Chains A and B, each alone.
Chain A
C-alpha cells in the first residue's frame, strides 16, 4: 500500500493541464493534407497515389472537378510524396457535423495534355472547424476540456455518457478511444464517462466500416439508447468506409446505417481529435435539446 502511494506521489500529475504541461503534438505528426489549389496543376499523380480515393477527379469535356475528401483520408502522406503542391499538416482536429463539410471540390479547366489550369471556381469556404493554431497553444487540451464540460453542463445538465461500438474496425480507433481514459487525457475529469450499456448512453461512438455481420447489432444498440441521442462516426472507416469501402462484406460508412451527428476523420483520430469531435457533437445537441423532452 505504501509503495503504491509512493509511486503515485513520485510520478506526480501527468494529466495535461494548463499551464504546467502544454500539449505536445510532434511536428512530424501527419494530420490533414493541404492542397495549394491555385498552384495545383495535375490531379492525376495524387489520385493514383491515394490508397483510399480521398483525392479524386472527374473530367467532363473541358472541365475537371477535383475533390479532396477528408472523410476518406488516412493522413498517410502518399499524395504529398507524389505532388509538391500538397503538404501534410499536423492538424488533427477535423471533426465536422456534415459529411459534405469534409469535402472540398474545385473546378478546373482541362488542358489537352491531361494537366489542368486556371481555377474556374475557388474552393468553397467552409464553416471551418479546422483551427490551425489552437492545437499548438499551451494548455490547449485543458481549455478544450473545460469547454466540453461547460457545454455538457449547459446542454445535458449532467455528465455525458458514451457507449462505444466497434462495428468492424481494425481496433486502431479502439486503442485511441481507450487512451482517453489514461491519466494523460483523463476524460472523466470533464464529466464524460464510457458506459457498458447503450441504455445508459447519450452518445454512440461508432468505429469501423460497418460489416454485414455487425449491421444488426449496431442497429439494436442504437435502438436501445434513450433519446436524445447522438451518433459520432470515428475514423476514416467510420466516416466513409475508408480503405475497405463498400463490398460484399461491408455496408461501408456508419451513416449508411444510422443518422450520424458528427464525423471524426483520422486513421485513427488521436485523442485530441476525438475530444474535438465530442465537443462538436455536443454543440450539435444544444439547439435540438430545447425542443426535445429532456
Chain B
C-alpha cells in the first residue's frame, strides 16, 4: 500500500513489520490482552455471584449495591486508572488495570445474577420445595441453572466491555493490545496503531459472538420452543 498521509512518513500499512513482529510483539500482546480480560472477569464473577444471590434475597440491599457499582461503572477509565495508580500499594502495572476492570464488571454481573434469579417462576420453586428440596438445593439445582442464560448474558457484556477498556490499561503499563496502539502513536507509526486497534476490535466482536452462541446453548427451552414454533 502506498497511501501517504498527512503527518506521517512512509506507507499507511507496512506488512513487513507485521510479519517480522508477529511472534515477538503482536501475538504476546494478544495473549496478554486475553489473559488480562479473562482474569478480571473471573475475579468479578467470584465477587458478583454470591453478592447477586444475597441481593436477590435481601431486596433492600439492591438499590445501594447498584448505586455504588453504577457510579464505579460511570467513571471514565483513564480517570479510574489515574486514581488507582496513586493508591499506596497499587501503582502502575497490570494490578491497577485488573482492579479497574473488576470494578467495571460488577454492575452488569450483579444486575444480571439478580435478574436471572428473578426470572425463575415462583411455581417452579414451589414445586421444588414440594418435592422436598432444601433451600440450598433449590438455589443450586433450580434457581442458578434456570438463571444461567441471563448470567451468561451478563458475562458477555462484561467481557466485551473489559476487552475494550483493557486497551486503555496499556497506558499505565498493563500490557495487551493497547501497548501496540500507544507505541504506534508515540512513534508516529500507523502500522502499529492499526494492528492494535483492529485486533482489539476483532477480539471484542469475536468474543461477543462466541458468548452469544454459548448463551443460546444454555437456553435449551428456547431452542425447543423455536423448533416447535
Whether both chains belong to one complex is answered with no
